[in-house]
Amino acid sequence: MNSKKIPVILDTDIGGDIDDTWALALLLNSPELDTKLIVTDTADTGYRAKIVAKLLEIAGRTDIPIGIGHVYDSDGPREKQLPWVKDYNLSKYKGKVFEDGVQALIDTIMQSPEPVNLIGISPAANIKEALEREPLIARKAHFVGMFGCFGKSHDGKEETIAEFNVEKNITAAQAVFSAPWMSMTITPLDTCGIVRLKEKKYQQIVNCTNPLTRAIIENYRIWLKGRPDEMSSILYDTVAVYLAFSTGLLEMKKMNISVDNKGYTVENPKARVVNCALNWKNLGAFEDLLVKRLTATAKG
């Protein structure tokens, strides 16, 4: 068995939907992965960097550098975790903060002695700009992302929609799906859109006393804004983190996929091959893995 860790970069719009916060915690608690950089993406990327920095401090992982990414669009009311970081001073983060997160992403990939897994759980403005600045990054990285929808949307509803990470920045998604990555793997809504922790599994998270897990719940309750605290929200992005080290619990299908001008992920015989997680082999086992890792102590 190969115990060597997989180098990864996370590109995240943390601070909008709460699932990015859960995904970051899973990343930090996945011993298979070696996080080289976390880059914040979309709208107020400085606000997002504060959340990342505070979580890394709580986890004892200030060895991980942060990149402040591409700023586009106005996120406005989606800055739902702002109360948690309103008094946080990013300049006091003990680790490295790159003001140009896109260049940090490029440099990290280009300087790596081995291929990097680039995990994309955002509308991908950073990745589009990185590909424009240095197209060769695609030849040195595997792309793993939470993108698209093929037949089932949120909570398993039978429909095909333009998924948020694609529709929010269609040209960026088109750039990502057409780039010559070493490989490309995605979890569409078909699989990630049904992941929730409920009842006993959720209560294990709520009752956990380790600081990082408590921070997840603090942020979740701020995000909920008084709504019932009975189960997790849909934890879309956690599946992308899982796919960065394993596909074992999912049914994968290789498909030729492109993004159309309305933001739909569509089969296209002329498009690149994408490894798509279309169904679960064992969703319960994935939920158990989430609980086990999110209630563990983050380690370097």
Q: Which domains does the chain have, with CATH numbers?
A: 6-194+236-281 (3.90.245.10)
Mean per-residue pLDDT for 154-169? 97
Residue 15: is its pLDDT beyond 90? yes
**With bands split at pLDDT 50, 70 and 90, how would you rate the model's confidence at 73?**
low
- Per-residue buried b or exposed e for 38-75, using 16+ beta carbons within 10 Å of the residue's own CB: bbbbbbbbebbbbbbbbbbbbbebeebbbbbbbbbeeb
Q: Work out the mean pLDDT of the chain and round it to a whole number.
A: 95
Average pLDDT over residues 201-221: 97
Cβ-contact 299, 59 below 8 angstroms? no
What DSSP designation does 244 have?
T
Order of strands, edge to edge, in the sheet holding 97-98?
97-98, 66-68, 33-40, 6-12, 116-121, 141-146, 183-187, 273-280, 250-259, 265-267
Give the pTM. Answer: 0.96
Answer for the pair 267, 237: CB distance below 8 angstroms, yes or no: no
Side-chain-facing half-sphere of 65: CA atoms under 13 Å = 19
- Taking phi first (over 0 means left), then psi (-120 to 50 degrees means alpha), and beta for anything else, what does residue 114 get? beta
Alpha-carbon separation of residue 77 from 32, 80, 82 (angstroms): 35, 7, 10
Q: What is the pLDDT of residues 226-258, one digit of tens each?
A: 898 999 999 999 999 999 999 999 999 999 999
Q: Percentage of the chain surpassing pLDDT 70?
A: 96
Question: Which of the two residues, 41 and 70, has the higher pLDDT score?
Answer: 41
> Cα separation of 160 and 141, whole Å?
29
Q: Residue 210 to residues 22, 29, 60, 73, 170: CA-CA distances in angstroms?
A: 14, 12, 12, 36, 39
Q: Which two tokens stand for residue 118?
A: 């680039």
Q: How confident is the model at residue 79 (pLDDT cuts 50, 70, 90)?
A: confident
